Chains A and B, each alone.
Chain A
Amino acid sequence: MVEVKNLTKRYGGNLALDDVSFTIEEGSIVGFLGPNGAGKSTTMNIITGYLSATSGEVSISGKSILDEPNEVKKLIGYLPEQPPLYKEMTVKEYLSFMYELKKVKLPKEQHLGEICRLVRIEDVTGRIIDNLSKGYKQRVGIAQALIGNPPVLILDEPTVGLDPKQIIEIRTLIKDLGQNHTVILSSHILPEVQAVCERIIVINNGRLVADGATDTLAHDLSQDHRLILRAEGPEEELLSAISQMEHVKEAVSLGEKEPGVFEISVEGEPDCDLRRDLFHLLSQKDWPLLALKNSDLTLEDLFLQLTSSDASHAAEDGEEPEAQEAEAAGETEEAPEESEASEAEEDPESDSERKSESESDM
């Protein structure tokens, strides 16, 4: 459906995108991840025809954006980073302008009414856009992208500025849209991408650094598959007992986490599930097993690893080392904030998701 081939974009001497290629199938939701300035918006702007690539090709449903720009633009609904709203218009006037601008053939009143219901702006259609809150402006921006029911939706940070309840609504909406649209969305919020997208593309410094299914990307890219366990028992004996197990390469104590409870990292042979054996061993010895988890990278770890390692890699290449270092430093500073924010968001999300589910059940 969306095919991007060897996309390169230079702004003067600055390389914004470096040979990015990917293909997106019809009806899938793809998340675009990357730190600020990685090239996400540039890529989206090129796909939608707002910018031109220095080299490379974009085609949608087999039509090239360069050869048939107007045909391709009809297939795309685009919500840029900053919603393109004429602030002096009312919501209704604006949407009807966009309807005419996009030369949509659907029955106007019905189509616009439907979209307003979908993004829940029916109550504000008579208001001047400038007077709306940021969340409503964002929703008007999403409504604008939906006009004409385009098969491809490109949403640049669609949930920015929304409150948690609205975020859930919009995510649900995007998921619903994903059933019969191809959706590309960018976001800084990792749980959002995880919750909504089937596939993730990570861009850093203009390069594509990872591309894979959301569920398995972190697992596939993790280099070590260790188990972290917590058990109550004597440290030395625990370690020696575990080390002597079959298929165990190494067991290391990570210290006493609670009184008398030790955390131990166990490295097994590749493709070897040690969890049952560990359980049996510990129960046999009467050392209560209090926690056991995979040390697979979370999406956050993965994101940080991908984006920072690529920066240092580029620095080694001698490409503007100072700028790269500065960026890398910026990323590490940003990192804790981001993970905190995402943690904080995770809980209400699952709560309200459950709520919305129960609502729909009713």
Chain B
Amino acid sequence: MKAICKREIRSYFSSPIGYVCVAALLALYGYYYFMVMMMGSSSYISSVYGVMFSFSMMIIPIITMKSMSDDQKNKTDQALLTAPVGVLSIALGKFLACFFVFFTASTLGLLPAVAMSFFASPAWGEVIGNYLGTLLYGGAMVAIGVFISSLTVSQIIAAIGTFAVSVFLMYIDMLASNLSNAALSAMVEWISFNNRYNTFTQGMFSISAAVFFLSVMAVFVFLTARRLESRRWS
């Protein structure tokens, strides 16, 4: 697992993908931050980080799209699957590598707040809450993205599929409020990533939400491993 994770991270940062993803995110963060905090003279830092988070939803599909599909396409999965490594280690290694790229971008996203702290005192509770929420929500999306990538050999399909899922999850709350059936509405609400994420943005740490996101990661890493295993039986 360690070897796979290390190799994947190196591959992100020895090719432009990792840098472009991180740089694009940071540029967008900086731009939006500048627009709202400076030009708009707003002090509502949580909403700024909220919007910044939605940018990263667009980048995650790009980070995850090649993680599994590329292996299948270039037949490098033969090296992984015939090595004395379990499928779960492979899936976990891949997930952690993608997550690391996202983690780097998100952590660097704290820079604006750090810069501001020289001149004022930002609401660190909200900033940290947003950061943790972003990591958890993003981590769940990364796991889903890696799983979708394992379903196809095409990076494009993997990226678009992950993007579609992330947009669907973003707007699932709207769907819940419009459903007339109460049971169905509750079920849809139960899936909602946003509700759980919002707790963090208010500067509160919700254990149940954290467990939820961690469970989503675990489930999709597990599904990715099952998917690898199932290919042997095709």
Contacts and interface: CB of A to CB of B under 8 A. Distances in A.
A48 B82 contact: yes
B234 interface: yes
B79 interface: yes
Contacts of B232: 49-52
A101 B11 contact: no
Contacts of B189: none
Interface residues of A, number: 30
A115 to B, nearest CB: 15
Interface in B144-175: none
Interface string B80-106: 111111100000000000000000000
Interface in A7-31: 11
B76 interface: yes
Contact of B84 (A50, A74, A87): A74
A144 interface: yes
Contacts of A74: 84
A76 B84 CA distance: 10
A82 B85 CA distance: 21
Interface in A69-119: 69-71, 73-74, 76, 78, 80, 82, 84-89, 93, 97-98, 100-103
B83 A73 contact: yes
Contact of A84 (B6, B10, B78): B78
Interface in B1-60: 2-4, 6-7, 10-11, 14-15
Given A11-B234, A52-B233, A84 B3 contact: no
B82 A93 contact: no
Nearest to A71: B84
B208 interface: no
Residue among A48, A86, A88, A103 with the most chain B CB within 10 A?
Answer: A86
Contacts of A144: 79
A88 B7 CA distance: 11
Contacts, number: 71
B81 A50 contact: yes
Contacts of B74: 84-87
A74 B86 CA distance: 12
A73 B84 contact: yes
A101 B85 CA distance: 7
B79 A84 contact: yes
A70 B7 CA distance: 21
Interface in B210-234: 232-234
Contacts of A100: 2-3, 6
B84 A84 contact: no
B3 A101 contact: yes
Contact of B80 (A69, A71, A93, A101): A101
Contacts of A70: 84-86
B110 to A, nearest CB: 30
A101 B4 contact: yes
Contact of A88 (B6, B11, B83): B11
Residue among B14, B74, B83, B234 with the most chain A CB within 10 A?
Answer: B83
A130 to B, nearest CB: 11
Nearest to B17: A88
A49 B87 CA distance: 12
Nearest to B11: A88
Contacts of B85: 70, 101, 103
A103 B89 CA distance: 13
Contacts of A52: 232-233
B150 to A, nearest CB: 16
Contacts of B84: 69-71, 73-74, 102-103
Residue among B4, B84, B234 with the most chain A CB within 10 A?
Answer: B84
Contacts of A80: 75, 78, 82
Nearest to B90: A101
Interface string A47-60: 01111100000000
B7 A78 contact: no
A78 B82 contact: yes
A135 to B, nearest CB: 18
Contacts of B2: 100
B11 to A, nearest CB: 6
A159 to B, nearest CB: 18
Given A49-B82, A80-B75, A100-B6, 12 more contacts: A48-B82, A50-B78, A50-B82, A70-B86, A71-B84, A76-B82, A82-B78, A84-B77, A88-B11, A88-B14, A89-B10, A101-B85
Interface of B: 2-4, 6-7, 10-11, 14-15, 74-86, 232-234
Interface of A: 11, 45, 48-52, 69-71, 73-74, 76, 78, 80, 82, 84-89, 93, 97-98, 100-103, 144
18 contacts: A50-B82, A52-B233, A69-B84, A70-B85, A71-B84, A73-B83, A82-B75, A84-B78, A84-B80, A85-B76, A86-B7, A86-B74, A88-B11, A89-B11, A93-B10, A98-B79, A102-B83, A102-B84
List the 6 shortest-distance A-B pairs measured between CB atoms, nearest first. A84-B79, A100-B3, A70-B84, A73-B84, A84-B76, A48-B82
